[in-house]
Structure 1
Amino acid sequence: MKRLILILMLAVMLPMPGEAQFSVGLRDTRYIYGQYTLHQHFFGRIEQSIYSESIGYQYMRGYLGYKTHVRNWGLMANGYFGSIFNRNYHSEGAMLSAKYSFLKRLFLKGTINPHHDSGYGYKTCFNAYGGVGIIKTLDFIAGYSTIPEYRMSEKRVRVGFDFHSGNLNVSPLVSFATTGASKANRLRVMVSFNYNF
Structure 2
Amino acid sequence: MKIIGIAASLHAGSFINRLLEAAGGELPEGVDFEVWQGLGEIPPYTAGPAVPASVRELSRLVASSDAVLVTAPEHSLLPAELTYALDWMAALGELSGKHVAAMSASARACGAMWAQAELYKQLQGAGAVVMGAELVISPVWPHFDEDGHLTSPDLRAQVRAVIGQLCPAQVLEPALSL
State the TM-score, normalizing by the size of structure 1: 0.30
Structure whose CA Rg is larger? 1
Higher helix share: 2
- The TM-score with structure 2 as length reference comes to 0.32
